[in-house]
Structures are given as structure tokens and as C-alpha cells.
């Protein structure tokens, strides 16, 4: 039996899950997720546009010796110009919660998306020219950082790559996460490539679960695990969704896997209680 485009995309995710984080191609893996979520979409057109962005980034970098030599401010300006002016990408504030904003194919088609989707385009362009850049694990609103000699500059790619100084950063955190939220050092910790990809796809998973689409949420979680098979939190989430679907055997298998990966801590203690309860139901 011939494979479907979704089968091919899932096989590629499985292969990506075996790679070291540094070897992951962020945009390519995001494209695989998008093909699964929107198999009818023009993924080849999206792939061609990603290649065009990378080529243009190299051209601009070659024409800007200061940026290519390490001037962080010039790098920020060049990438902002490339992504937001030349290619016209913007943050979608009007239909923010629409799932198309987390699907990289639709983001490339519409030139609009969520902060993390736009961030992947920035990271894709930066990697094409060999510049260091990384996502930041800020709550509620993905930010991006470019390293420099005194640390890093923090950018809001949803706002066109605007640099955020400490007061603006603190105000943003309070706006998106509540007035009681304070800026903490961990919020500015670099994210791995895997974490960026999981944050992108988590938007799909959460929106499906919020719509009470448990099967869709389960499928999204399973696909996330293809890229991060050692992620205990995702195994826990899959087990909890399977529990809600009354698939007790599958739930136990997923929860046992979570405990195997992460046997200690508060989350593990709670899961052990649920596992015991589910096993009693099977007896």
C-alpha cells in the first residue's frame, strides 16, 4: 500500500527525533508538522519560499560587512528588514487564535502568524548566514534573542523585530501573563530547537483540546513525541488524554513511559497515584 503525504511527514518527524538538537532543521521540521495538519496545503510552495528567504539572507549578509562581522544591531536591522519589509510578514493580532497562525505553510502563504511561527522564520534566516540566534522561554509570548559581547538583545518578532529593553520586557510579561507576573532570569533562558518546535505545535494541540477535540489533541501530542521521544511531560499529557478517552491500557503505557523517563518530582508522584487507580480499575 502506498504511503500518504502525512505518512511521509510523520516518518520525517521520526527521523528528526533521533537527531541531536543542533542538527535539527527548524523550518524543515515545522514544515513537516504543517503537512500533517494541513495535507491539502501547498507545502512545495512553502518550501520554495523558505529557500528564497535563506538565499536572500545570504545576499544581504554578504552586502553588509558590519552585520556579518558581528554587529548585533546591524544583524537585527537586516533580519527585520528581510522578514518584515521585503517578505512582508506580520503578527496576526486580529485572528490570533486561528490555528493557521501556527501552521508554517499557512503562515508563509498569508504572511501572518503567531510569535513563535515568525520566530522560526527569523531563526531560519539567521542560520542560513551562520549567525547565532535563539528563542526565549518567556511565558505567553515567544521572544527571540541575538547574542552580543555583553549578553543578548531581546526582540519581539511579533512586533516586527523591535528590541525590548528591561522596562518594555517587564511590561510585556505583565500584559500577557498578568500584573502579578515578574520578570525572572529563567524567562530569558535560551530555548533548544526542539523546545521551539514543541512550542509551535503546542498551539495546535491546545486549540484542539479547548475545542474538546480529544482525538485531534491526542494526534498532535503523538506527533510532538516523534520529534521529542524523551519528553516526559508529553508522555504524561498523552496518557491523560487517553484516560479521558477511556483507553485505560494505552493511558497506562504512556504514563509508565513518563515515569520511566522522569521517576522523581511532584508530577511523577501525581502520575503514580493515577497509575495505581487505573490499574485497580483493570483488576
- Enter the pTM of the model: 0.94
CATH 3.10.620 placement within the chain: 5-188
Q: Binning pLDDT at 50, 70 and 90, where does residue 1 land? A: low
User: Which fold would CATH assign to domain 5-188?
Assistant: C8orf32 fold (3.10.620)
Question: What is the Cα–Cα distance from 60 to 75, expressed in whole angstroms?
Answer: 10
Q: Binning pLDDT at 50, 70 and 90, where does residue 3 land? A: confident
Write out pLDDT tens, residues 16-56. Answer: 999 999 999 999 999 999 999 999 999 999 999 999 999 99
Mean pLDDT of the chain: 94
Write out pLDDT tens, residues 225-251. Answer: 999 999 999 999 999 999 999 999 999
Question: Cβ neighbours of residue 101 under 8 Å, at least 6 residues apart?
Answer: 92, 95, 107, 112, 113, 114, 117, 203
Crossing angle of helices 193-210 and 26-37, rounded to 10°: 20
Question: What is the Cα–Cα distance from 2 to 25, expressed in whole angstroms?
Answer: 27
111: left (phi over 0), alpha (psi -120 to 50) or beta: left
Question: Cβ neighbours of residue 102 under 8 Å, at least 6 residues apart?
Answer: 113, 114, 116, 117, 200, 201, 203, 204, 207
Q: What is the average per-residue pLDDT within 120-147? A: 95
Amino acid at each position: 500500500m502506498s504511503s500518504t503525504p502525512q505518512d511521509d511527514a510523520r516518518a520525517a518527524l521520526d527521523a528528526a527525533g533521533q537527531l541531536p538538537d543542533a542538527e535539527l532543521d527548524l523550518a524543515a521540521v515545522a514544515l513537516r508538522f504543517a503537512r500533517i495538519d494541513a495535507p491539502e496545503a501547498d507545502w512545495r510552495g512553502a518550501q520554495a519560499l523558505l529557500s528564497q528567504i535563506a538565499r536572500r539572507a545570504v545576499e544581504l549578509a554578504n552586502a553588509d560587512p558590519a552585520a556579518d562581522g558581528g554587529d548585533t544591531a546591524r544583524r537585527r536591522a537586516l533580519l527585520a528588514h528581510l522578514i518584515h519589509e521585503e517578505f512582508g510578514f506580520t503578527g496576526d493580532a486580529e485572528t490570533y487564535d486561528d490555528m493557521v497562525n501556527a501552521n508554517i505553510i499557512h503562515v508563509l502563504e498569508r504572511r501572518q502568524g503567531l510569535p513563535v511561527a515568525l520566530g522560526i522564520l527569523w531563526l531560519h534566516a539567521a542560520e542560513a548566514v551562520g549567525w547565532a540566534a535563539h528563542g526565549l522561554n518567556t511565558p505567553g509570548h515567544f521572544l527571540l534573542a541575538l547574542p552580543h559581547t555583553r549578553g543578548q538583545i531581546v526582540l519581539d518578532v511579533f512586533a516586527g523585530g523591535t528590541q525590548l529593553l528591561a522596562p518594555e520586557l517587564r511590561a510585556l510579561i505583565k500584559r500577557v501573563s498578568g500584573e502579578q507576573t515578574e520578570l525572572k532570569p529563567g524567562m530569558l533562558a535560551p530555548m533548544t530547537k526542539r523546545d521551539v518546535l514543541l512550542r509551535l505545535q503546542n498551539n495546535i494541540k491546545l486549540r484542539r483540546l479547548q475545542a474538546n477535540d480529544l482525538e485531534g489533541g491526542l494526534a498532535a501530542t503523538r506527533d510532538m513525541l516523534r520529534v521529542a521521544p524523551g519528553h516526559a511531560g508529553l508522555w504524561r499529557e498523552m496518557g491523560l488524554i487517553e484516560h479521558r478517552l477511556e483507553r485505560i491500557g494505552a493511558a497506562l503505557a504512556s504514563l509508565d513511559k513518563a515515569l520511566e523517563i522522569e521517576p522523581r518530582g511532584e508530577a511523577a508522584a501525581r502520575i503514580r497515584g493515577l497509575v495505581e487507580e487505573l490499574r485497580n480499575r483493570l483488576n
